[in-house]
Amino acid sequence: MSYAFTFPGQGSQTVGMGQELASQFPEARAVFAEVDEALGQSLSKIIWEGSQEELTLTANAQPALMAVSLATIAVLKAKGLDLATTAKFVAGHSLGEYSALAAAGTFTIADTARLLRTRGEAMQAAVPVGEGAMAALLGLDFDAAMQVAEEAAQGEICQAANDNGGGQVVVSGHKAAVERACELAKAKGARRAVMLPVSAPFHCTLMQPAAEKMAEALANVQMQDPCVPLVANVLAAPITSADDIRTRLVEQVTGTVRWRESVSYMVGAGASTLVEVGAGKVLSGMVRRIEKSAATAALNSAEDIDAFVEAVNAAS
């Protein structure tokens, strides 16, 4: 049995996530405390007691999802499961790439929290509210969605932001261009084209100011080579050097999240089970649509963790 560990992105956040782990395991509590201290605020209070609206703010959701993922990793470690010897690859969807890198030792938890707060604020500030938008095109393959985005641009920005597999591609850019893409997609046979309730047009060139901020932030943080290869969003291929990772994280702000290709790469390279670490089961659903032969496991609770550790031990 060979495992790849995957880490969710924005959209998986729910109020109360991670609270059960924090109540049962001091190792999980320590992760949330470290994130709170690094940010100089009680983010854990927002995660467990705040409103969904407050938690969904980009600057909160990004470090919050990372905290839950890393608390899960801390519990796995406490139960004797070591990422370096268990995982063949790590990968994360958009902000989840930072969680994956923290789990693999490239960043400290505190540095990851600060980087994600900076990233969230920079992405929010890059485009005035109302000027940008994102939409999910359902029922078109990636090449067809790319063509739709290109035709819809008409001198504005419209790009494929996320290739999520299973005929789901998210486009991002100027609001009018994204609206045109929805109409074009329907005309080209898309089952649905849905405008997404997001606060900014992520993963397109409108995010260039945020990419510049992240280049500066990443230049000033200490990084180690990961203990497990990272399958990078912008490459859909593994990288192992801290310098290369720094470059790819900057590119990721404006580049396409190549999730479909990343999943296919990991499965093709021998990862038979893709383990979703943290909040929700969004990535597990995507994996099943992309690679039907792959097994999935979502670690959302202490019960999930126990079952996974038992399965790993039984297979070894």
Q: Which residues are catalytic?
A: 94, 203
Task: Give the position of tokens 């990793």.
Answer: 73
SS3 content of the chain, % helix, strand, coil (to 5): 55, 15, 30
Edge-to-edge strand list for the sheet holding 87-92: 238-239, 230-231, 87-92, 3-7, 273-277, 295-299
Q: How far is CA 175 from the centre of its chain?
A: 23
Residues 6+ apart with CB under 8 A from 231: 4, 89, 90, 91, 237, 238, 262, 265, 266
- Is-contact 7 93, C-beta < 8 A? yes
Instruction: For CA atoms 285, 287, 288, 294, give the dihedral sign.
Output: negative
Structure tokens of 31?
């992760």
Residues 6+ apart with CB under 8 A from 285: none
Alpha-carbon span 289 to 284, nearest angstrom? 9
DSSP, residue by residue, 87-129: EEEEEESTTHHHHHHHHTTSS-HHHHHHHHHHHHHHHHHSS-T
Structure tokens of 182?
């929805």
> Which has the closest alpha carbon to 61: 200, 162, 170, 169?
200
- Is-contact 137 169, C-beta < 8 A? yes
Structure tokens of 114?
């600060």
Structure tokens of 293?
């032969």
